[in-house]
A and B are shown apart, each in its own frame.
Chain A
């Protein structure tokens, strides 16, 4: 077991290292570079000055060498300054992370509750009308463009009905908890709706399979009540694959977070990364992307380990 964990951790670190190079290279290929931006705000700069600046920032060196220097600095904790915010990158990252956690956790919980309820109800009578209806809801959830769902939420609940604010995390001058919560309703609902569709299908499939399994039929034959059969005997076993899939869906969840945060102007990680790409804030974009990759790898790792831990039939050797 310890060997397995060690092996997976080492593998994940290797993937992270390779990805850091890929992301570094891609960011370097984006339009403009730091010197272009400096020059743009300083039209008097001669070509000689520009060349000197490039040498000073090491931008005339080959990609591999620049990456190596960045890696060494990053490993020692120096992730550079954010060009737009003019503070060290980590100072921008911290608050954004907190905001994203709020959004992700609440919408994840909501989506898990919704999908368990609907998935189990659908699995009770596969092929029935209710199953068909829930299937349609699930497919709609998978198929809807998240940004458009957000747009429709704004159109209906903010523009037409005036129930909820369309953007931001609180009204100016109002720091009350209630105000914060009201601002969170639409982003959380949007993200939860977008992720629930896939979850419902997994819960349903897993429940149908376990309800057919022998031990569940035995429990029924022994006269256990239907509710007990479904909730105790079947659900517990159906949980194993579902938990794995949910943990593996972090990447999707993060994509959704980027869109909901951008649409509802929530200052989280997703919006931060999107803005930094748009504003050529290279250090911030690089750090944000690396961080998101690391968290995704970590959640996949946890999913793997949890799977082995929940299901004793899988031997981790």
Chain B
């Protein structure tokens, strides 16, 4: 069945979004960034360069000779490592936001829909989370010794666990903003007559949440998720920079800067590239969020 009789709400939004120049530019930049980091595998295959292969005879080689941005302190290709590191950084951003999103949406909908004691407890909890000095706590969580929680040594020190530990830690600290926003939106929806109509027909809480609440809070959720991706990428880079994030030899933009810090006098370029990529990505994500907000806000039609 088609809805060709009129313009759907999503097409209206897309029209409004296209008029937001910065948002459109951000979308294009992020598209190019995705192409850049995903090109790592084919380029590595075609040029036969391994981004993790060290070559101590070629330390700090200047650009040229098949290495467009030269080589780093261990003789690895800088450009290729930037691409692979970007994959990791962006993936952490997306996965961390996904987990934070599931958690935040769950808590927010529960608190908003049931209200009363559930709401009071959940909101005190998010208040508590917001009041924390996050960075030192994240460092502590990044440093936690998993063997003390009963995991085996091999498990605790495997690369995959190192990756997922960061994703989970970042999700734990970044779900509160989403939860608050979702709660406010749910509170407003709960009093709408279509929700009351469904309840009068005998609908249970979970039917209402699935059929009415979630579809109607999709727009503020998308904006909140976008902005969260930016924050998670920033926090990942900080954590990896401090040595508690993604553990080398797996590159991420953050831990590439950790190495570069010590050589800022000899090889300043190594400290510049990853930072510029983080900056561009996060600025683009924030502008995208701004554009989406504009597109989703019906009031922005007039202004």
Contacts and interface: CB of A to CB of B under 8 A. Distances in A.
| A–B proximity contact (CB within 8 A) | yes
Interface residues of B, number: 45
A143 B275 contact: no
A244 interface: no
Contacts of A254: 133, 135
A146 B238 contact: yes
A285 B140 contact: yes
Given A145-B257, A251-B130, A259-B135, 17 more contacts: A14-B124, A15-B128, A29-B144, A29-B145, A140-B283, A142-B286, A143-B283, A143-B285, A144-B279, A145-B279, A147-B257, A151-B261, A151-B264, A159-B265, A274-B136, A277-B139, A296-B131
Among B135, B238, B260, chain A packs the most CB atoms within 10 A around the CB of B135
24 contacts: A15-B128, A18-B128, A19-B128, A29-B145, A30-B140, A31-B145, A140-B279, A143-B286, A145-B279, A147-B238, A148-B275, A151-B271, A152-B275, A155-B268, A155-B271, A251-B133, A255-B134, A255-B135, A258-B135, A262-B242, A274-B136, A289-B140, A296-B132, A297-B131
B279 A23 contact: no
Contacts of B101: none
A291 to B, nearest CB: 9
Contact of A255 (B124, B133, B278): B133
Contact of A293 (B22, B132, B287): B132
Contacts of B264: 151, 154-155, 159
Interface in B102-159: 124, 127-128, 130-137, 139-141, 143-145, 148-149
Interface string A14-28: 110011000100111
Interface in B216-234: 230, 234
B257 to A, nearest CB: 6
Nearest to A138: B286
A11 B257 contact: no
Contacts of B234: 143, 145
Nearest to A29: B144
Closest 4 CB pairs of A and B: A143-B282, A148-B275, A255-B135, A292-B133
A203 interface: no
A300 interface: yes
Interface core residue of B130, B132, B261 (most chain A CB under 10 Å): B132
Contacts of B136: 258, 270, 273-274, 277, 288-289, 292
Interface of B: 22, 124, 127-128, 130-137, 139-141, 143-145, 148-149, 230, 234, 237-238, 241-242, 254, 257, 260-261, 264-265, 268, 271-272, 274-275, 278-279, 282-283, 285-287, 290
Contact of A139 (B140, B275, B278, B283): B283
Nearest to B234: A145
Contacts of B265: 159
A82 to B, nearest CB: 16
Contacts of B268: 155, 159
Contact of A19 (B132, B257, B272, B279): B132
Best-surrounded residue of A14, A27, A145, A255 (most CB of chain B within 10 A): A145
Interface in A212-255: 251, 254-255
Nearest to A300: B131
A27 B135 contact: no
Nearest to B231: A142
User: DSSP majority for the A interface?
Assistant: helix
Interface residues of A, number: 47
Contacts of A31: 143, 145
Nearest to B258: A147
Contacts of B282: 142-144
B257 A29 contact: no
A110 B287 CA distance: 26
A187 to B, nearest CB: 16
A132 B145 CA distance: 47
Interface centre among B131, B264, B271 (most CB of A within 10 A): B131
B279 A148 contact: yes
Contacts of B275: 145, 148, 151-152
Interface centre among A147, A148, A259, A274 (most CB of B within 10 A): A148
Given A155-B264, A296-B132, A147 B241 contact: yes
B238 A145 contact: yes
Contacts of A26: 137, 140-141, 144
B90 to A, nearest CB: 15
A282 B208 CA distance: 48
A15 B135 contact: no
Contacts of A144: 279, 282
A46 B135 CA distance: 39
Contacts of B260: 151
Contact of A30 (B127, B135, B145): B145
